[in-house]
Structure 1
């Protein structure tokens, strides 16, 4: 049982936490066993006679991710200061370009007082072919995939992609470019794509990236944060130097290669110039077929969630994946739906959906007999009629030799 009140958008109500601490103190004084189990987990006071309000406050703070109650208060003071800092607006010049792998924070940035330009780079590089091709051919391949996958107009998608990549050639026209990223593969691939594609660097090239926010129990993305938390993040940006640019170019070359072995080596290495890149590359490597079942990790986790319940809905499976099963959440709902369609639409499906007349999130799902066999590792998905798919520059086709990963996430050729 948690005694702190967690938040979703990063805003912690100190008065609410004070009330929680006083209630917790009453429970501790009454020798409540659950409260005392939590206290002993954090090595705090040992008996009801000894316990003080400071002990209860310390437990609340630690459950929110802080070492102590004063550290919690200091964080809240820093957030409040950032939100009212009189020099804040002046520091974010109109000539600043804010670049993000989506449009989820542009409105919140404006609410927080940012005044630069806001642009999105939304190519979902975690999905579909990412081949090593000259840019015009690459954009044609990516646009065709995105249009077909999300039922969009191909010419509109291509035009949008051309605008996004043209911006990379103009970054030097801005006095400052700031990239906003989190730790997942969607964001980190966006990061290395931008850094690798930048032709001339701006005068100031900076990065804001986070993998957690104090008080947020399950941090998924910057888009969930309140405006004052974005203001708090602003002073934490850091300069992107030559080491980061060099690493990004190396990582992008590895990810877009048809041979994943260099990618796997980078994924296992330390990446101090871009510290969140290594874990993201490792997670994305797990989208290659597993050696025992031929499934990506997303497919395996999703089939497992369907197996847990009696005909769970598409939407429930997605919610469970994002809230507890996925180790590094990166999918939007439409991306999740697109990734699971091949398991439904194959000539040898692993999943079956009921009531197709309903919106897809409300359709019940169940495993087919083949789905149960594959999930158990008794059949291999790419030995069946699995649809073609790509992970980065790696093409996967049923019945043909292909790359997969073993239990230590080492790439190996199969077939």
Structure 2
């Protein structure tokens, strides 16, 4: 389902409903409106609100700012532009955006269909090696491909032949960029996207001859308050991004990508910590992604990475859940920077399940259920681990990699 295509009439209706609610006799209803006004309207931010003084214009400004616009007029202008683009798409009379000499690179296929509907003519290329999980070796490209293929096959249960075939398509295209006049990278803010972006920028920096390089990289989109990824967006919003958020890739960005990719391969986190400390103004969304990446290292409290810790925390807070419910709650409520796909998360769950001591218990059924349908709970030992009474590295089932950093089980403890 596409999102982000604001309808002006709908926004007008929302503003009127907000005004009506502000006059409601029900105090709880009025208080909800006042909370929203204090958050989004500068006039009400630091003073008590008299419901009788609230106007339709106040509510319109609140609705506009909630949607990411500084004023109601700018919201209206945005809606008008989107309406024009919708009509152009529906009529098939779309102004030229790109041409067949353009290559669009994305770390997934989520916008491929949307770009086609929107009228983009360039070729689409998916490059989706999930560097946010598993080893990133130093070595040459052949070693990288072998080690990554082995990890992905083992972690996600995908046949090696399929992984190798996909790698061949994904990586070899990067060595043929001279076939295109323009290459556009489409990325968002999470660590899955940003680590792949670092790899691509490093690769692009090594090219002697380059096509025109451009990037669209965002962490928010007007009218999409729950934005998590480009795949949410309606085709007309992809056009909006093309027209308003696209920029040329600079030499400074290429150099920063090269530096980050080198740091991701190191055996310690020191180089990444230095980059985080000095921040990455060339790539504004990278710093938070790298911070989140390093949170998968064992915590001092209990040896758990953040995904593992949040998983146990959810089960402790909410009781047994089906795998699909656990994943949804993690992404929606607990994860500070959502980045995991479902296969990636099932791998994290499987590592907890394989622990040398029982951290999770699952429902026993006559017919084995896939992870999304299994009822999963936390054991007493899992609660002790969560509280810091135990250390996960004493019981972890196998070696874990966070980029180039190798985390091994403690050998002095016995299960």
Structure-2-length-normalised TM-score: 0.90
1:44-59 alignment runs, 5 A limit? 44=43, 46-59=49-62
Q: Give the match for residue 102 of structure 2.
A: 96
Does residue 360 of the first structure (1) align with residue 371 of the second (2)? yes
Shift of 1:92: 0.4
Could you tell me which of 211, 214, 220 is aligned with 2:219?
A: 211
SS of the residue corresponding to residue 53 of structure 2 reads coil
Residue equivalent to 1:315: 324
Q: Indicate the RMSD between aligned Cα atoms, in angstroms.
A: 2.1
Matches within 5 A, 1:68-217: 68-82=71-85, 84=88, 89-198=95-204, 199-200=206-207, 201-217=209-225
Deviation at 1:111, TM superposition (A): 0.6
TM-fit CA distance, 1:360: 1.4
Q: Distance in 1 between matches of 2:369 and 2:162?
A: 28
Following the alignment from structure 1 to structure 2, what is the Cα–Cα distance between the partners of residues 359 and 44?
A: 53
Question: Once the 2 structures are TM-superposed, how far is the Cα of residue 81 of structure 1 from its aligned partner?
Answer: 4.6
Query: CA separation of 1:52/1:266 partners in 2, compared to 1, >3 Å: closer, same or farther?
Result: same
Per-residue Cα deviation, 1:59-108 (whole angstroms, up to 9, x for no partner):
22222232221121122234345554999653301110000111111111
Distance 1:245 1:43, change over 3 A: closer
Contact 2:385 2:391 in 1 (8 A): yes
Q: How far apart, in 2, do the equivalents of 1:146 and 1:43 lie?
A: 49
2:315 alignment partner in structure 1: 306
Correspondence 1:258 to 2:244 = no
Alignment match, 1:279: 288
User: Are 2:404 and 1:396 aligned?
Assistant: no
1:249 maps to 2:258: yes
C-alpha separation between the residues in 2 aligned to 1:268 and 1:218? 29
Deviation at residue 183 of structure 1 after TM alignment: 0.2
Partner residue, 1:411: none
- Sort the Cα spacing of 1:362 and 1:48 in 2 relative to 1 into closer, same or farther, 3 A: same
Query: Residue 58 of structure 1: CA displacement?
Result: 1.4
Structure 1 segments unaligned to the other structure (5+ residues): 1-6, 402-415
Structure 2 residue ranges without an equivalent (≥5): none
Distance 2:282 2:178 in 1: 21
Partner of 1:18: 12
* Structure 2 residue aligned with 1:332: 341
Q: Match for 1:27 among 4, 21, 42?
A: 21
Offset, 1:51:
2.7
Provide the residue aligned with 1:39 in structure 2.
37
Q: Distance in 1 between the 2:396 and 2:106 partners?
A: 38
Q: Equivalent of 2:66, from 63, 71, 88?
A: 63
Is the contact between residue 99 and residue 122 of structure 2 (CA under 8 Å) also seen in structure 1? yes
**Partners of 1:174 and 1:202 within 8 A in 2:** no
